[in-house]
Amino acid sequence: MNNTLPLKDKFVGALVGTHAGDALGMPVEGFSIDKIRGSFRKIEGFINSRLGIGTYTDDTQMTIGVAESLIDSRDFDGEDMSWRFIRNFEITRGYGPGTIQTLIRIRKGTGWDNASKAVFPEGSYGNGSSKRIAPIGLLYGENTAVLIEQARKASIITHSHPLSINGAQLQAFAIAKALRLDPSENVETNRQSFLTDLTDFSNSLANPYPERMDIICDFLNGNPSEEEIITKLGNNEVSVNSVPTALYCSLRHLDDFREGVLMAVNLGGDTDTIGAMTGAILGASNGINSIPAEWLDNLENGEKGRDYIIALAKRLFELYNEKLTNESI
């Protein structure tokens, strides 16, 4: 991989970027854009919240579970990963109802690959698997076919609807490609190559993902209002209405972590999750040092807080290197 920024910094950027985007959006999750404007005019940085400033939600907690499981199992292991989710689970972090019910089923004995149809017979199409997928994108990005399969398996633990599986695959692919961008290159060159890769990849996915990518291309050639972005790409907890939105925020501000994540959060709706997914992509492309220092300082740092997440990202990077050396990815 030809890159002037150390790859380790990008692994750390992706996981801490998830935490930062999640914590930035958490206080206003579920707010309409008008409510955000009325309360804050524009969100410019961390604001206090029910769990305290800089705290993360289910999005980061489940991302931690994915990373822990990959590292300790040395590969994807669905049984292990589902039990990480269960052991890490804290209800106060704010989980989706389908995810809660699925984890309860697994805890009571249903197999990890069979529990997710407990609530919705066709599986959940929520964004709960896309939001946690960053470690899969980091570890398996060398081989797209492997990445597609590992993202599918990591999704179906809780989200087996094809649109959720596709959302997780698209977000994992975006992280893998962002990791391979060289931020010292011209930003317009990077944007075009990233956009082409994402468009080609989305053409292998179910609609409306290819249609959403066409909208993103149009948006990048113009200057859509926030209302237009919400209307045409969405801002809620459904995969198809949030993964493309995070891709757009990332593409629009490809060299600027702060502006990309602020754009995501100021759209309202599922702010913590769209913030987390945007933060993962921009952290993967620009590295840990692109995250504003005052944001890093404010991230919660208890038992599984910021420093733990940094250590996890470094261990995931070591595993990636080992696998690369052994040619097992």
Which residues make up the interface to Mg ion (CB under 5 A)? Answer: 57-59, 270, 272-273
| DSSP string covering 139-165 | HSTT-HHHHHHHHHHHHHTT--SHHHH
* Nearest distance from C-beta of residue 217 to Mg ion, angstroms: 26
Query: Do 303 and 81 contact (CB within 8 A), yes or no?
Result: no
Give me the residue whose beta carbon is nearest to ligand F2R: 96
Smaller CB distance to ligand F2R: residue 92 or 184? 92
**Within its chain, how far is the Cα of 161 from the centroid?**
18
Q: How far is the CB of 236 from Mg ion (least distance, A)?
A: 9
Q: Compute the least distance from the CB of residue 120 to ligand F2R, in Å.
A: 3
Beta carbon nearer to Mg ion, 141 or 244: 244
Token look-up 């052991």 returns 87
SS3 210: helix
Q: Shortest gap between Cβ of 309 and Mg ion (angstroms)?
A: 15
Nearest to 105 by CA among 39, 32, 157: 157
Residue 241 or 286 with smaller CB distance to Mg ion: 241
The residue (of 237 and 300) whose beta carbon lies closer to ligand F2R is 237
Return the sign of the alpha-carbon dihedral for residues 196, 202, 204, 207: negative
Please count the helices (runs of H) and the strands (runs of E) in the chain: 16, 0
Residue 126: which residues within 8 A CB-CB, separation 6 or more? Answer: 96, 98, 99, 159, 164, 237, 238, 239
Provide the binding-site residues for ligand F2R, judged by CB under 6 A: 29, 57-59, 94-99, 120, 122, 124-128, 161, 237-238, 270, 272-273
Whether residue 144 contacts residue 66, with contact meaning beta carbons closer than 8 Å, is answered with no
Nearest to 154 by CA among 139, 171, 140, 168: 168
Q: Which is nearer to ligand F2R, 100 or 296 (CB)?
A: 100
Nearer to ligand F2R, 69 or 273 (CB): 273
CB of 270 to Mg ion, least distance (A): 4
Nearest-approach distance from CB 60 to ligand F2R, in angstroms: 10
